[in-house]
């Protein structure tokens, strides 16, 4: 951004710059240390963890924790639940949110201020746990249904406002030209606006996907049937559950060794964050963009 003049740094400034590099470098290392620890120890043998504790580089490696976890039925069904909820939820949420945001951003809509206020109000005065719980569990009867994990997150006011601020930047002439050509608002939105809005749609989709992937609150409230437990719930169960072996659900004849408790916990965590860490280099910039738009305009 700036074309710098030739920098003639004094001694205290050099010292400061050195401190800056050290501080940022250390902060970065501390940020990824827990990732390293979890990933590398998921490949450690249970006896190595028991003998030496969690280590930066384990003494003894083993794939047994993964074999044990993957042999069970729970990881497959939890993966399926999480993927289903994330994919269906994200698609529906993005569709509903973008349609709603377009109307809120449209200058011809007279009641857009009222709609905006209705949306904003839910952020400052919430219904809270009890009303929400009764609605999902009793009124809608969604206990032990995957819809209980999908429906409550379909319109996030914050993401809606990110989209509103994007739609407002589109030139209104597009709209006028299409109207003269005889297109109605529905076809303008789906045929013209959506295709040119891919950057913001990608950003908001990823925010929604991350929310669905990482959520355990809804499952904690509404899912008792372990066959419908998403991955996050599986982690919670194997952290707190005494009987890991029956929960993970492998056939008992397969195992002559003891259940690798730490191993299963760490392996499940790695399998859960795997897709995120793998996609991270590609998706990071979309999040940065979304956060920036949301913060500066919201």
Partner 1 sequence: MSFIREIAKNKYLYLLALPGLAFLIVFAYIPLNGHLIAFKKYRLADGLWGSKFVGFDNFKFFFMNGDWYKVTLNTLYLNGLFLVFGLGLALVLALFLNEIRQALFKKLAQSFIFMPYFISWLVVSMMAFSFLNTTDGMVNRTIESLGGEKINWYLKAEVWPAFLTLIYVWKFAGYYSIIFLAAITGISGEYYESAKIDGATRFQQIFHITLPLIRSVAIVLGLLGVGRIFYGDFGMIYGIIGDNSALYATTDVIDTYTFRALRVLGDFSKSSAVVLYQSVMGLITIIVFNQIARKLDKDSALF
Stretch that binds partner 1, among 59-67, 70-78, 252-260, 286-294 (CB under 8 A): 286-294
Interaction of residue 185 with partner 1, rule CB under 8 A? yes
- Contacting residue, 69, 119, 197, 205, with partner 1 by CB under 8 A: 119
Q: How far is the CB of 280 from partner 1 (least distance, A)?
A: 7
Give the integer Cα–Cα distance in Å for 66 and 248: 12
Q: How far is CA 273 from CA 130, 266, 267, 277, in A?
A: 31, 11, 10, 6
Collapsing DSSP states into helix, strand and coil, what is residue 44? Answer: strand
Sign of CA dihedral 267, 271, 272, 278: positive
Which listed range, 3-11, 58-66, 83-91, 247-255, lies at the site for partner 1 (CB under 8 A)?
3-11
- For the segment 86-105, give every residue that binds partner 1 (CB under 8 A): 96-97, 99-100, 102-104
Provide the Cα torsion 90, 95, 100, 105; round to 10°: 100
Query: Is residue 276 within the footprint of partner 1 (CB under 8 A)?
Result: yes
Q: Among 64-72, 142-150, 194-202, 262-270, which window interacts with partner 1 (CB under 8 A)?
A: 262-270
- Residue 124 interacts with partner 1 (CB under 8 A): yes or no: yes
Cβ-based neighbour number of residue 145 at 10 Å: 16
Spatial contact of 261 and 252, defined as CB atoms under 8 Å apart: no
Nearer to partner 1, 172 or 254 (CB): 172
| Stretch in the footprint of partner 1 (CB under 8 A) among 31-39, 61-69, 164-172, 243-251 | 31-39
CB 208 within 8 A of CB 90: yes
Nearer to partner 1, 27 or 171 (CB): 27
- Tell which positions 193-232 bind partner 1, by CB under 8 A: 210, 213-217, 220-221, 232
Cα gap 169→167, rounded to integer Å: 5
């Amino acid at each position: 951004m700036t074309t710098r003049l030739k920098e003639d740094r004094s001694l205290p400034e050099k010292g400061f710059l050195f401190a800056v590099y050290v501080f940022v470098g250390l902060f970065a290392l501390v940020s990824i240390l827990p990732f390293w620890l979890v990933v590398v120890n998921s490949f450690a043998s249970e006896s190595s963890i028991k003998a030496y504790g969690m280590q930066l580089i384990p003494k003894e490696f083993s794939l047994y924790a993964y074999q044990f976890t993957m042999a069970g039925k729970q990881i497959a069904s939890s993966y399926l639940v999480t993927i289903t909820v994330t994919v269906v939820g994200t698609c529906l949420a993005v569709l509903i949110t973008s349609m709603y945001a377009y109307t809120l951003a449209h200058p011809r809509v007279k009641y857009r201020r009222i709609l905006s206020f209705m949306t904003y109000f839910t952020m400052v005065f919430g219904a809270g746990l009890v009303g929400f719980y009764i609605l999902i569990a009793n009124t809608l009867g969604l206990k032990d249904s995957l819809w209980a994990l999908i429906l409550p997150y379909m319109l996030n006011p914050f993401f809606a406002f990110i989209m509103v601020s994007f739609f407002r930047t589109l030139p209104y002439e597009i709209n006028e030209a299409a109207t003269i050509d005889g297109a109605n608002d529905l076809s303008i939105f789906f045929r013209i606006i959506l295709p040119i809005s891919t950057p913001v749609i990608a950003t908001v989709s990823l925010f929604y996907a991350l929310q669905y992937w990482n959520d355990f609150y809804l499952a904690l409230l509404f899912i008792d049937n372990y066959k419908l437990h998403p991955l996050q719930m599986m982690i919670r169960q194997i952290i707190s559950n005494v009987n890991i072996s029956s929960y993970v659900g492998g056939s008992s004849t397969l195992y002559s060794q003891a259940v690798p408790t730490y191993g299963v916990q760490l392996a499940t965590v790695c399998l859960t964050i795997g897709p995120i860490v793998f996609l991270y280099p590609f998706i990071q910039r979309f999040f940065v963009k979304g956060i920036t738009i949301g913060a500066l305009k919201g």
